[in-house]
Amino acid sequence: MVSLDREVGIAPAEKPSRKERERQQHRQAILSTALRLFAEKGFLNVSMQEIAAAAEFATGTLYNFFSSKEDLFFELLDATAEESLGMVLSALDGPGDERHRLSLFIHLHTRVIREHGAAFRLYIMESRGRCLPGPRVEAKKKEIDRRIVTQLAGVIASGIDKGLFHNIDPVIAARCLFASLELFVLAAIENPQAVDLDADLKKIETVFFRGLLKPSGERRDE
Amino acid sequence: MVSLDREVGIAPAEKPSRKERERQQHRQAILSTALRLFAEKGFLNVSMQEIAAAAEFATGTLYNFFSSKEDLFFELLDATAEESLGMVLSALDGPGDERHRLSLFIHLHTRVIREHGAAFRLYIMESRGRCLPGPRVEAKKKEIDRRIVTQLAGVIASGIDKGLFHNIDPVIAARCLFASLELFVLAAIENPQAVDLDADLKKIETVFFRGLLKPSGERRDE
DNA sequence: CATTGAAATGAATGATCGTTCATAATATGA
DNA sequence: TCATATTATGAACGATCATTCATTTCAATG
């Protein structure tokens, strides 16, 4: 009866009862345990029994909070994705010219994986291949990708309009940058001590800003 | 006894017996059925029972040819990867200057997925995430990636030496191009009728060759 | 203290799937 | 034709795992 407050959305004025607070704590404990395990071993290699044991609950208890394993996973993906997404998208919306904003976006990735490493791993690793929990998760992943690429393409298009960038296809460029960043971020997450992500991102920036080819006028030095 | 010839590697002079040929045909039938199913649904979503039924054999028969499901998958990955690999790497070794060879490499991808679409799908989709059949498969995937990136980086480095390309990190550039191509090829495989891969590859080429940023001298037109 | 009901429990269920193996079918050669 | 070897068969096994539910726990309330 009390917990209906949350669902109906009324009376947030009264603080939730201790019971309700405890319930939310348990819920959070399960979520963070699941995040750790999923990020470590992948959705399919973690059983509900394992999550329950690691969180020090019984198996059945998990189903008092989440209606299925997919539900639990989706909730995780949704929450963590929105959090990280806000972070990187803010760079694209921020002040400065388009070049500056792109640069910021690129370099922001080190901070994101430092602060949301497990979530990023979850997001990148689980959203590939044919081993997805279900269509809802796949749809969410596509939505996130679309939002990032769209925003990115918007900045690039704006830069083209201002004559700052070459007249290339903004969406294609956005997708290339996106794919490249994902690859390097993944490498950095998998092998943190062997990869200097900051240095790599600097070089990626150079590749995308300058391109491979020298303008024909400069072809002789080096 | 006869079939030991293959394993020991002697006496390839004598043509294999009819029995042996039939055996190899059965083997091939199983392999191509498995390739089709794996490419469609992914390693984990195809059971040995399903492969056997589709290939019109009994479940147990599969184990006369392959010692495990992972074995069957690895054999597939190995064979198809080497085939496709030879195709794309040949472009990087071929004649022409570095710019030409890179361009050829990029555009060759349409032909590869037209001729080896299922294999490519297998290679790209299964080699991500935490749903891999086993460490051998993962190692193979890494080896293939390494070979492509190394070759690609070699061409880029050579272009830099000749003063044709900007002085960027060849390995980073190679990885970015590699990641971008994989993304677009995957999209084309998943949704062939909605994607004009040829056009996309042309634009990718432009992005990587020219870069985003205009040289400071040209900033005003458009 | 007794009652109550929400929350936790964890053994049991049922389904899936890789793998095995005793048996059957078939081919081979004398 | 018969003995032998090879290959195919598919039911059965065992392990895993998501999910269920009858039961227990326990704090709040009367």
Query: What would the pLDDT profile of A139-155 be if each residue is shown by its tens digit?
Result: 999 999 999 999 999 99
Q: Is B140 exposed, middle or buried (0-12, 13-18, 19+ CB in 10 A)?
A: middle
pLDDT of residue B12: 44
DSSP string, chain A: -TTHHHHHT---SSPPPHHHHHHHHHHHHHHHHHHHHHHHH-GGG--HHHHHHHHT--HHHHHHH-SSHHHHHHHHHHHHHHHHHHHHHHHHHSSS-HHHHHHHHHHHHHHHHHHHHHHHHHHHHHTSTT--S-HHHHHHHHHHHHHHHHHHHHHHHHHHHTTSB-S--HHHHHHHHHHHHHHHHHHHHHSTTT--HHHHHHHHHHHHHH-SBPPGGGTT--
Q: For the residues B144-170, what does the mean pLDDT come to?
A: 95
Q: Is the CB of B18 under 7 A from strand C?
A: yes
pLDDT at B121 over 90: no
What pLDDT is attached to residue B218? Answer: 56
CA–CA separation, A109 and B75 (whole Å): 38
Task: In whole angstroms, give the CA distance from residue A135 to residue B2.
Answer: 50
Task: Give the closest nucleotide to A2 (alpha carbon vs C1').
Answer: C6
Report whether pLDDT(B4) > 50. Answer: no
Q: Give the nearest partner residue to B41 out of A128, A130, A159, using CB atoms.
A: A130
Rounded-to-integer distance, Cα B167 and Cα A177, Å: 19
d(CA A139, CA B146): 31
Give the model's pLDDT for residue B15: 58
Residue of chain B nearest A129, judged by CA positions: B125
A46: Cβ–Cβ under 8 A, 6 or more apart, which residues? A34, A37, A38, A40
Q: Which residues of chain A have pLDDT under 50?
A: 1-13, 220-222
Q: Which helix (H) or strand (E) holds B129?
A: none
**What CA–CA distance (Å, rounded) separates B38 from B77?**
10
Q: Check pLDDT > 50 for residue B10.
A: no
Residue B11: predicted pLDDT: 41
Burial class (CB in 10 A: 0-12, 13-18, 19+), B5: middle
CA B175 to chain centre: 15
Q: Is the pLDDT of residue B153 over 60?
A: yes
Mean pLDDT of B177-188: 95
pLDDT value, residue A161: 94
Preferred mutation among A100, A164, A213, A219 to probe B, highest tally of B CBs within 10 A: A213
pLDDT for the residue numbered A3:
38
Q: What is the pLDDT of residue A130?
A: 72
Percentage of the residues of chain B whose pLDDT score is greater than 90: 69
The whole-number pLDDT of residue A214 equals 76
* Alpha carbons A209 and A180: distance in angstroms, whole number: 14
**Which chain A residues touch B201 with a CB distance below 8 Å?**
none
Q: Closest Cα partner for A79 from A142, A122, A49?
A: A122
The Cα of A163 is separated from the nearest Cα of chain B by a number of Å equal to: 6
- Strand C–CB B68 distance below 7 A: yes
Nearest residue by alpha-carbon distance to C1' of C17: B47
Q: How far is B14 from chain A (nearest CA, A)?
A: 44
Contact call for residues B85 and B148 (beta carbons, < 8 A): yes
Q: How many CB pairs under 8 A join A and B?
A: 168
pLDDT tops 70 at residue B97:
yes
More confident residue, B215 or B118: B118
Q: Which two tokens stand for residue B18?
A: 């009819």
Query: Cβ of A45: how many Cβ atoms within 10 Å?
Result: 13
> Exposed, middle or buried, B30 (CB in 10 Å: 0-12/13-18/19+)?
buried
Tens digits of residue pLDDT in B74-87: 999 999 989 889 98
* B169 or B190, greater pLDDT: B169
| Selected residue with higher pLDDT from B209 and B219 | B209
B29-53 residue pLDDT tens: 999 999 999 999 999 999 999 999 9
Per-residue pLDDT at A6: 39
Q: What is the pLDDT of residue B139?
A: 92
Can you give the pLDDT at residue B216?
Answer: 64
Residue A205: its chain B contacts at CB < 8 A?
none
Global confidence as pTM: 0.89
- A3-11 contacts at long range (C-beta below 8 A, 24 or more positions apart): none
Contact between A212 and A203 (Cβ < 8 Å): no
pLDDT above 50 (res B155): yes
- Protein-proximal positions, strand C, CB < 7 A: 6-12, 16-22, 27-28
The C-alpha atoms of residue A136 and residue A43 are separated, in whole angstroms, by: 14
- Residue B7 pLDDT greater than 50, yes or no: no
Q: What's the pLDDT score for residue B158?
A: 96
Q: Report pLDDT for A11.
A: 42
Q: Which A residues 34-93 touch B at CB under 8 Å?
A: 41-45
